Amino acid sequence: MDNHEIIVDLSYLKEVASGNVEFMVEMIDIFLDQTPGYLVNLKEAIENKNWQKIAESAHKIKPTLGFMGIESARETMAEIELNARKQENFENIVLKHNQMQEVFKTIFVKLEEKKQELLAQDN
């Protein structure tokens, strides 16, 4: 997955928030605050080849990506989770996880930009 292909579509969040910019900004802040910790847990689980923890960590990250409208990354997390639950394709899990490290850097930047746009239009 190329970082330039990452699309952050906040239409679902906007719908859930009924257009409430303050709520949308709060949800983005929560994502930016919590997700790095989930990613650390996922990395540690992979380093320890702990299938259950890999699945649990990927499962925690997956819906938040859907909520932020980052479908391509959500699908990758779903794939990692499924492989871990089946205890198969460990090399694929490692590969996808390594790709996601870079992808998340881009996601965090793009969400920060979206947040600034929302704050600018709210004033």
**Nearest-angstrom CA–CA distance, 79 and 81:** 5
- CA 29, 24, 66, 9 torsion-angle sign: negative
Buried b (16+ CB within 10 A) or exposed e, 74-111: bebbbbbbebbeeeeeeeebeebbeebeebbebbeebb
pLDDT per residue as tens digits for the range 26-46 = 999 999 999 999 999 999 999
The rounded percent of the chain whose pLDDT value lies above 70 is 95
Question: Which tens digit of pLDDT belongs to each residue from 73-90?
Answer: 999 999 999 999 999 999
Query: What residue spans define the domains of the chain?
Result: 3-122
> What CATH number should be reported for the domain whose range is 3-122?
1.20.120.160
- What 3-state DSSP class applies to 122? helix
- Tell me the whole-structure pTM to 2 decimals: 0.89
